Amino acid sequence: MSVKSDIEIAREAEKRPIQEIGAKLGIPEADLVPYGHDKAKVSQAFISGLKDRPNGKLILVTAINPTPAGEGKTTTTVGLGDGLNAIGKKAAICIREASLGPCFGMKGGAAGGGYAQVIPMEEMNLHFTGDFHAITSAHNLLSAMIDNHIYWGNALGIDERRITWRRVMDMNDRALRDTVVGLGGVANGFSRQTGFDITVASEVMAILCLATDLADLEARLGRIIVAYTREREPITCADIGASGAMTVLLKDAMQPNLVQTLEHNPAFVHGGPFANIAHGCNSVIATTTALKLADYVVTEAGFGADLGAEKFMNIKCRKAGLAPDCVVLVATVRAMKMNGGVAKADLGPENVAAVKKGCANLGRHIENLKSFGVPVVVAINHFTSDTEAEIAAVQAYVAQHGSEAIVCRHWADGSRGIEALARRVAEVADGKSAQFAPLYEDDMPLFQKIETIATRIYRADEVLADKKVRDQLHAWEAAGFGNLPVCMAKTQYSFSTDPALRGAPSGHSVPIREVRLSAGAGFVVAICGEIMTMPGLPRHPAAETIGINDAGEIEGLF
């Protein structure tokens, strides 16, 4: 039996008009701003009218630490949404948008996989509804206005050596990481060293994803710190006078995008901030809108639960006043084996001992998630190579840890394969057992927030930071930023800062190399290692083989 690729399945899917998908959520045609026949934005006016409606149940899908075996978090998010609809519930999913640039390096990706996908796949990997282009424009308008301000006399007294705002491009272009601009003489301004990040790393992206409406968006943009004076006084985007124009550029991008799953269920695909220097969740406005329109909203967070779910709880939920009713923790037998010490090439044969050993990673995540006061259900994303004994080992382990693990076959079978999980998740969410609370209070000192995450989530013994980092955190506290949550930038492959350390390590140290203030997004970033904010292209980028074939189809993108 030949297995169809994601793109083959996606192309064969019969798409319903997007108006029909909107109608399932009660969105009138006039309030769906179409982008083609299969994509639409939900109008701001319609969203504003939803305020007084009750919220549906919020379900977070997160995962164990990612391994090269693949855990299928988005696939399970999509599958669970379809599964809930299949058992008669009114459900919607909320996921992130893909970045265009990286698709021309490595191949682009599906949103989901197999028979649990969101479509149209090609558009979602290319320009989609233009949101990221709008973010690029807004970001770079601010950049241009900063240099222009200096050019025309620098009335604000910006220290050209202390401009922190760079430029962005949605492209993997390593040559732009470190640049000098303003060369060529008097007419071109003052020369200075700066660089470009990829668009998804822009603070504007994080802001768009955390803003509750256009007014909040403009206020947050205004608070971005772009530079400092010689006296170390911050200069903000509002000082430069750019926040109004940036809001105009982002007006359409703030409206959430509606598309459909392969089973024609509503999917909001909106926003896509980095999961290291930012919080890695889809937009607040998409999630809150979906909660007003559906009885169950399934969403996900970037990376594993130590990073993604922690930020979802401590940043997104805290800031947006959200509270998850149930968490689904995705695991695979293969990933358990890898956490148990098996190499990817050796995943084939049954190895119950390795599975049992690797379950420590899963158990740690279950404990951590429960510490937020939310019930946890484990989804075992099924692979054909999984044996019954291996699955039973995971289920027994999870049962011992006070949860349950349900096998899901949505990749192969769509909603049919995930109805058991859907039923259990609905039951749990309806049971109202969640007593959500973030891990720390707003008024905890910044360094203590870092320590709390490191010791309680990562199970480290200590946080290492030199005086410069601690002084910086104190300075921000003195400047009124002490109440912000912390956004950890750490490897996603381990609870520790060592990507090779699988399983459930403890007793390690978490070194904080650098801290950054995202005053507009509203968090302090703690960086525990090297963070790459502008990727490069490989020796043979996918772009070399991407093209349109004689049938008018895109080739090489997937």
Residues with catalytic function = 73, 75, 96, 107, 275, 303, 383, 411
- Binding of residue 97 to its own copies (CB under 8 A): no
Ligand-binding annotation for 74, yes or no, is yes
**Pick from 244, 348, 402, 499: which binds its own copies (CB under 8 A)?**
244
CB nearer its own copies, residue 30 or residue 500:
30
Helix boundaries (H) for 279-330: 284-293, 310-311, 318-320
CB nearer its own copies, residue 130 or residue 482:
130
- Binding of residue 531 to its own copies (CB under 8 A): no
Ligand-binding annotation for 69, yes or no, is yes
Enumerate residues 430-469 that contact its own copies by CB under 8 A: none
**Pick from 26, 28, 157, 241: which binds its own copies (CB under 8 A)?**
241
**Pick from 3, 14, 54, 187: which binds its own copies (CB under 8 A)?**
187
CB nearer its own copies, residue 36 or residue 321:
36
Q: Which stretch binds its own copies (CB under 8 A): 91-99, 181-189, 314-322, 438-446?
A: 181-189
Task: State how far the alpha carbon of 423 is from the alpha carbons of 18, 85, 165, 400, 460, in Å.
Answer: 27, 10, 48, 22, 37
Instruction: Classify residue 175 by its DSSP letter.
Output: G
- Neighbour tally for 329: CB within 10 Å: 27
**Pick from 87, 219, 437, 554: which binds its own copies (CB under 8 A)?**
554
- Binding of residue 489 to its own copies (CB under 8 A): no
Bridge-partner residues for 278, per DSSP?
none
Q: Which residue has the tokens 């090609």?
A: 122
- Binding of residue 257 to its own copies (CB under 8 A): no
Name the nearest CA neighbour of 381 among 192, 130, 148, 114: 114
- Binding of residue 219 to its own copies (CB under 8 A): no
**Pick from 53, 154, 157, 183: which binds its own copies (CB under 8 A)?**
183
Ligand-binding annotation for 70, yes or no, is yes
Enumerate residues 107-146 that contact its own copies by CB under 8 A: 126-127, 130, 133-134, 136-137, 140-141, 143-145
CB of 204 to its own copies, least distance (A): 14
CB of 174 to its own copies, least distance (A): 5
Ligand-binding annotation for 287, yes or no, is no
Enumerate residues 347-406 that contact its own copies by CB under 8 A: none
Distant-in-sequence, close-in-space partners of 268: CB < 8 Å, separation ≥ 6? 92, 93, 94, 95, 256, 257, 258, 282, 286, 287, 289, 290
Q: In one letter, which amino acid is 221?
A: L
414: left (phi over 0), alpha (psi -120 to 50) or beta: left
Distance, in Å, from the CA atom of 326 to the CA atom of 427, rounded to the nearest integer, reads 10
CA 387 from chain center: how many Å?
Answer: 32
Distance, in Å, from the CA atom of 34 to the CA atom of 28, rounded to the nearest integer, reads 12
Enumerate residues 188-207 that contact its own copies by CB under 8 A: 188-189, 193, 195
Name the nearest CA neighbour of 386 among 365, 403, 371, 408: 408
Helix boundaries (H) for 275-317: 284-293, 310-311
Distant-in-sequence, close-in-space partners of 216: CB < 8 Å, separation ≥ 6? none
Size of the site for its own copies (CB under 8 A): 76
- Binding of residue 218 to its own copies (CB under 8 A): yes
Ligand-binding annotation for 451, yes or no, is no
- Binding of residue 171 to its own copies (CB under 8 A): yes
Q: Which stretch binds its own copies (CB under 8 A): 164-172, 283-291, 393-401, 496-504?
A: 164-172
CB nearer its own copies, residue 437 or residue 546:
546
CB nearer its own copies, residue 250 or residue 330:
250
**Pick from 100, 226, 259, 521: which binds its own copies (CB under 8 A)?**
100
CB nearer its own copies, residue 87 or residue 181:
181
Q: In one letter, which amino acid is 318?
A: R
Distance, in Å, from the CA atom of 108 to the CA atom of 87, rounded to the nearest integer, reads 32
- Binding of residue 537 to its own copies (CB under 8 A): yes
Task: State how far the alpha carbon of 256 is from the alpha carbons of 68, 288, 400, 521, in Å.
Answer: 32, 10, 41, 18
Structure-block tokens of residue 482: 């002490």
**Pick from 71, 82, 97, 147: which binds its own copies (CB under 8 A)?**
147
Quick check: 26 and 276 in contact, CB under 8 A?
Answer: no
Structure-block tokens of residue 101: 């640039």
DSSP collapsed to 3 states, 1-31: CCCCCHHHHHHHCCCCCHHHHHHHCCCCHHH
CB nearer its own copies, residue 5 or residue 48:
48
| Binding residue numbers | 67-74
